[in-house]
């Protein structure tokens, strides 16, 4: 039988409980349900009651939320879920350090905040190195954070343009079987990059920048023969590049440019006889100064809770 225990937290003067608890106490209800605790307030005291483990987890989540609010951070529902997951995993991650590494966007979204220690490290590496290669499963924020870094770099005039590239290979599809001209055939492959952009910038501004060539969406094959200066270049779905394509892309880097390569080496759609350039590049350039590898795992998945479980299920099946 569980032993009921309690813990009290002291609230700061003027603490906005509505912001802490969420709209219609949504944050509070989520914490109470997940950890099977009851949270009440009396004056400047917040009391948490439940079994020992639940109280420990809930108090840690609420303490972290209070610290973030005191620092001026505006909570989002996804932040509460992230902190709850860290508490359940007994993670010793430095919450303040993770949230302080956020990417400030001078646009409609305001900022993008890392949701794991690996994401925080990834942002730090993108700020530090000219070439960053991010490898890991779907849903870990590899592409989204890279696009956020590109957008803020463009809007703060660190770069003069953004180039977003993808190999036109996807789950066995061939371009020749798709309707339309070449541009129309390639467009579906670039849709995830468009989605990330539209989440961070106004539609009209994106369209204007696309028309002026400030933002360029291109299939990887279009990169051959170019030298790209003062650009933030992203190669997405890089597990579907050939060895030759990877070498070609890496040698496009010009002065004042930064390149980020993202991919999931467990989802290669190339023919069996053609090795993945992303798998191969790990051995070839690992010792080159200025190139940094960042590896994500299923623990870094920040999509719907089921995505993490699906990734683990497939990993067990492959094993």
Q: Report pLDDT digits (tens) over 37-93.
A: 998 888 778 889 999 888 988 888 888 888 888 877 777 777 888 888 877 776 677
Q: In this predicted structure, what is the pLDDT of residue 3?
A: 58
Q: In this predicted structure, what is the pLDDT of residue 167?
A: 86
Question: Which of 285, 275, 309, 276 lies closest to 138, judged by CA?
Answer: 309
Residue 281 CA to its chain's centroid (Å) = 22
| Residue 39 Cα distances to 68, 219, 265, angstroms | 19, 53, 44
Q: Which range, 26-30, 138-142, 217-221, 245-249, has the best average confidence (pLDDT)?
A: 245-249
Task: Indicate the pLDDT class of residue 184, thresholds 50, 70 and 90.
Answer: low
Of the CA atoms within 13 Å of residue 73, those in its CB half-sphere come to: 25
Q: In this predicted structure, what is the pLDDT of residue 316?
A: 82
Dihedral of the CA atoms 29, 35, 37, 42 (nearest 10)?
-60
Q: Decide if 137 contacts 313 (C-beta within 8 A).
A: no
Q: In this predicted structure, what is the pLDDT of residue 244?
A: 92
Q: In this predicted structure, what is the pLDDT of residue 279?
A: 95
Residue 12 above 90 pLDDT? no
Q: Tell me the H-state helices in the chain.
A: 17-21, 26-35, 52-70, 77-88, 95-100, 117-128, 142-155, 182-198, 203-212, 243-250, 277-284, 305-318
Q: In this predicted structure, what is the pLDDT of residue 136?
A: 94
Widest distance between CA atoms in the chain: 70
Give 250-294 pLDDT, tens digit per residue.
999 999 999 999 999 988 988 888 899 999 999 999 999 999 999
Residue written as tokens 């100064």? 289
Q: In this predicted structure, what is the pLDDT of residue 108?
A: 60
Q: In this predicted structure, what is the pLDDT of residue 14?
A: 62
Task: Indicate the pLDDT class of residue 180, thresholds 50, 70 and 90.
Answer: low
| Residue 296 Cα distances to 20, 110, 134, 137, 254, angstroms | 30, 25, 7, 7, 28
Quote the DSSP letter at residue 108: S
* Higher pLDDT among residues 196 and 16, named by residue: 196
Q: Decide if 190 contacts 234 (C-beta within 8 A).
A: no
Q: In this predicted structure, what is the pLDDT of residue 319?
A: 72
Task: Indicate the pLDDT class of residue 173, thresholds 50, 70 and 90.
Answer: very low
Residue written as tokens 């999509």? 303
Task: Indicate the pLDDT class of residue 189, thresholds 50, 70 and 90.
Answer: low
Average pLDDT, stretch 183-210?
Answer: 78
Reduced to 3 states (helix: H, G, I; strand: E, B; else coil), residue 311 is helix
The Cα–Cα gap between 25 and 151 comes to: 34
Task: Indicate the pLDDT class of residue 198, thresholds 50, 70 and 90.
Answer: confident
- Tell me the pLDDT of the chain averaged across its residues: 83
The Cα–Cα gap between 150 and 260 comes to: 10
Q: In this predicted structure, what is the pLDDT of residue 304?
A: 64
Q: In this predicted structure, what is the pLDDT of residue 1?
A: 42
Q: In this predicted structure, what is the pLDDT of residue 106?
A: 63
Average pLDDT, stretch 178-187?
Answer: 55
Residue 178 above 70 pLDDT? no
Residue 303 above 70 pLDDT? no
Q: Decide if 147 contacts 197 (C-beta within 8 A).
A: yes
Percentage, residues of the chain above pLDDT 90: 34
Residue 171 above 50 pLDDT? no
């Amino acid at each position: 039988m569980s032993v009921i225990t309690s813990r009290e937290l002291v609230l700061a003067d003027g603490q906005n409980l509505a912001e802490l608890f969420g709209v219609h106490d949504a944050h509070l209800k989520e914490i109470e349900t997940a950890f099977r605790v009851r949270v009440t307030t009396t004056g400047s005291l917040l009391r948490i009651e439940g079994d020992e483990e639940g109280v420990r987890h809930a108090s840690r989540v609420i303490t972290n939320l209070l610290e973030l609010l005191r620092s001026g951070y505006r909570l989002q529902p996804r932040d509460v879920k992230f902190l709850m997951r860290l508490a359940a995993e007994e993670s010793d991650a430095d919450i303040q350090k993770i949230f302080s590494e956020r990417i400030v966007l001078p646009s409609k979204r305001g900022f993008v905040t890392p949701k794991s220690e690996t994401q925080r490290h990834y942002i730090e590496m993108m700020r530090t190195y000219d070439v960053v290669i991010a490898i890991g499963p779907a849903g870990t924020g590899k592409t989204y954070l890279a696009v956020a870094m590109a957008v803020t770099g463009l809007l703060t005039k660190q770069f003069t343009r953004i180039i977003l590239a993808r190999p036109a290979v996807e789950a066995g599809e061939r371009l020749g079987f798709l309707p339309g001209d070449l541009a129309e055939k390639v467009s579906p492959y670039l849709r995830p990059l468009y989605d990330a952009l539209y989440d961070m910038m106004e539609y009209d501004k994106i369209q204007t920048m696309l028309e002026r060539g400030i933002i360029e969406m291109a299939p990887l094959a279009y990169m051959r023969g170019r030298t790209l200066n003062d650009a933030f270049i992203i190669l997405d779905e890089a597990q579907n590049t050939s060895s030759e394509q990877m070498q070609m892309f890496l040698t496009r880097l010009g002065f004042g440019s930064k390149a980020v390569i993202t991919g999931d080496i467990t989802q290669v759609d190339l023919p069996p006889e053609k090795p993945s350039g992303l798998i191969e590049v790990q051995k070839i350039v690992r010792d080159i100064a200025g190139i940094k590898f960042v590896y994500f795992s299923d623990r870094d998945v920040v999509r719907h809770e089921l995505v993490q479980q699906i990734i683990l299920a497939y990993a067990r099946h492959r094993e």
